[in-house]
Structures are given as structure tokens and as C-alpha cells.
Structure 1
Amino acid sequence: MFTIEHEFDATVITLIDDAATPASEDVTVTIFDDGVALEQADPRTGALRRINFTMSQIEDLRAALNLPEGAYVRTPRKP
């Protein structure tokens, strides 16, 4: 299950893993013009963990989801 919310300066997607046993913490994906942030609460400490990606890293990740094992260099798209 997931939710999508459009805020003033970002789109926020929350991934809810309701099928996991035991249930895992929700993951929040916040998409800005210049990058993406992933956040998840650490159940042991309660601290919020955050990872920031550039848009180029997100494009690499998107491409990697459809490729076999190996090392790749993505050529940027031309406008």
C-alpha cells in the first residue's frame, strides 16, 4: 500500500509494508526539483534515517532495475 501527496515544493510518497511480518516501518520518499530523499524510522532508536539522492542517481537506479548483473555507465539524455 502507498500514499501520494503533493505539497508546495515536493511530492511525498509513503510506502506502507502492511504485509511484512513483523511489520516494518513506513518508508517516505520525498521528491524535490533537484533530488529525492528517503526516510525511515529506526525501530530500535526511534531516530529518523535519511538518504539523499541526486536526480542523476535516481535515473541510474531506475535504469539498474531493468538490467542484469554488471557495471554500467548511463549516458545522459539529450534535451
Structure 2
Amino acid sequence: MFTIEHDFEATIITLIDEGTPFLQGDITINAFQDCITVEQVDPQTDRLQRITISMTQLQELQSALNLPEGSYRVAEDPE
């Protein structure tokens, strides 16, 4: 299950783990104009963990999900 909310500065996506035995905490993704943040509460410390991804990194991640094992460089679009 997931939710999508549009806030003033960001689009907020929350992924809710509804699977069986080994459930993970909810993941919140904040999509800003210049970066993406991914947040999850660490159950051992009860502290919020956050990573920030640049838009370039996000595009590379999107490409990587559909490629076989290897090393790649995303070509820049010529203008």
C-alpha cells in the first residue's frame, strides 16, 4: 500500500509494508524540485534515518533497475 500527498514544497509518497513476517517500517519519499529524500525510522534506535538523492542519481537509479549487472554511464542529452 502507498499514499501520495502534494505539499507546498514537495510531493510526499509513503510506502507501507503490509507483507508477512519480516515487516519493515514505513518509508517516506519527499520529492523536491532539486532532490529526493528517503526516510525511515530505525526500529532499534527509534530515530529517523534520511538519505538525500540528487535528481541525476534518481535518473541513474531508474535506468539501473532495468539493466543487467555491469558498470554504466548515462549519456548526457546533446542540446
In 2, Cα distance between the equivalents of 1:27 and 1:77?
32
Q: What are the ranges of 5 or more consecutive residues in structure 2 without an aligned counterpart?
A: none
- 1:46-65 to 2 correspondences below 5 Å: 46-65=46-65
**Taking structure 1 as the reference length, what is the TM-score of the superposition?**
0.94
In 1, Cα distance between the equivalents of 2:78 and 2:11?
25
Q: What does residue 23 of structure 1 align with?
A: 23
**Taking structure 2 as the reference length, what is the TM-score of the superposition?**
0.94
Q: Which runs of 4 or more aligned residues in structure 1 lie more than 4 Å from their structure 2 counterparts after TM superposition? A: none
In 2, Cα distance between the equivalents of 1:77 and 1:50?
30
Q: How many residues align?
A: 79
**C-alpha offsets along residues 16-41 of structure 1, whole Å, 9 cap, x if unaligned?**
01114132100000000000000000
AA aligned to 1:17 is D
Q: What does residue 5 of structure 1 align with?
A: 5
* Alpha-carbon distance, 1:76 to partner: 2.4
